[in-house]
Amino acid sequence: MLGNIKIRTEGEIAERTKRSSVAVGVAWTPTRGHLSIEANKMKGKGGFTMTGQIGQVMQESMQAALTWVRSNADRLGVLEDFFANHDIHIHVPAGAIPKDGPSAGVTMATALVSLLSKQRIVPLIAMTGEITLSGNVLPVGGIKEKVLAAKRAGVRDVILPAENKMNVEEDLSPEQLENLTVHYVKTIDEALGVSIPQVAESPAAKILPSAPGKDPKQDYQPARPLKEPEPVHQA
């Protein structure tokens, strides 16, 4: 029951998202309901570093997120030679806990856009969903557990794949969703419109709306949410 859920409205999430380039992913482990994903840049030669005890699937999500951001660099107002002259580092804190699963692509892309646009992500918002190279958002598993765990952590807004709306309607009661706003998205453009609205309003970025007439389902036909590996924890 929701009455047994202890909600923290302030704390780690609010503290970490005080600066740009930090996004919060909806996750579930016995100790937390979220994973902060941080991005940073430095002078370099186009290197890309990933750290934080992440598995192969999350590494692939990071690569896909970076590819999408680079292919849309002009819409983000990023200089043409930026990636050739800078290194990028993505880190998932709480490094002692191994983590993996196909649900962090949206969070990683959002962190990168926040980094490059120097715009802070909306406070107390979390997100989940995998992305394709063309920017479509794929459904994921474990929605009920993730939403409730995020709520315990003090999240007020959650971005979920549109394909997971049925999971929310079937598995979560109105009481469990109380004081929580759920945003359903089909593309990363739509997710950014919620998480970094100032980017959408920027004349240089022109990140929204999506291209007219583009069917977000044209690149995939998901039969069911992606099956995620069980969380791995050290003893």
Rounded to whole angstroms, the Cα distance separating 69 from 90 reads 13
Positions marked active-site: 103, 146
Q: How far is 97 from 189, CA to CA, in rounded Å?
A: 31
Cα 34 to chain centroid, rounded: 10
- Please count the other Cβ atoms lying within 10 Å of the Cβ belonging to residue 38: 19
Per-residue burial over 177-202, b if 16 or more Cβ lie within 10 Å, else e, is: beebeebbbbbbbbbbbbbbeebbeb
The Cα 37–Cα 16 span in angstroms is: 10
φ, ψ dihedrals at 223, nearest 5°: -85, -30
62 with 68: CB under 8 angstroms? no
Three-state DSSP state, 83 = helix
**Helix ranges, 47-104 (H):** 56-71, 82-85
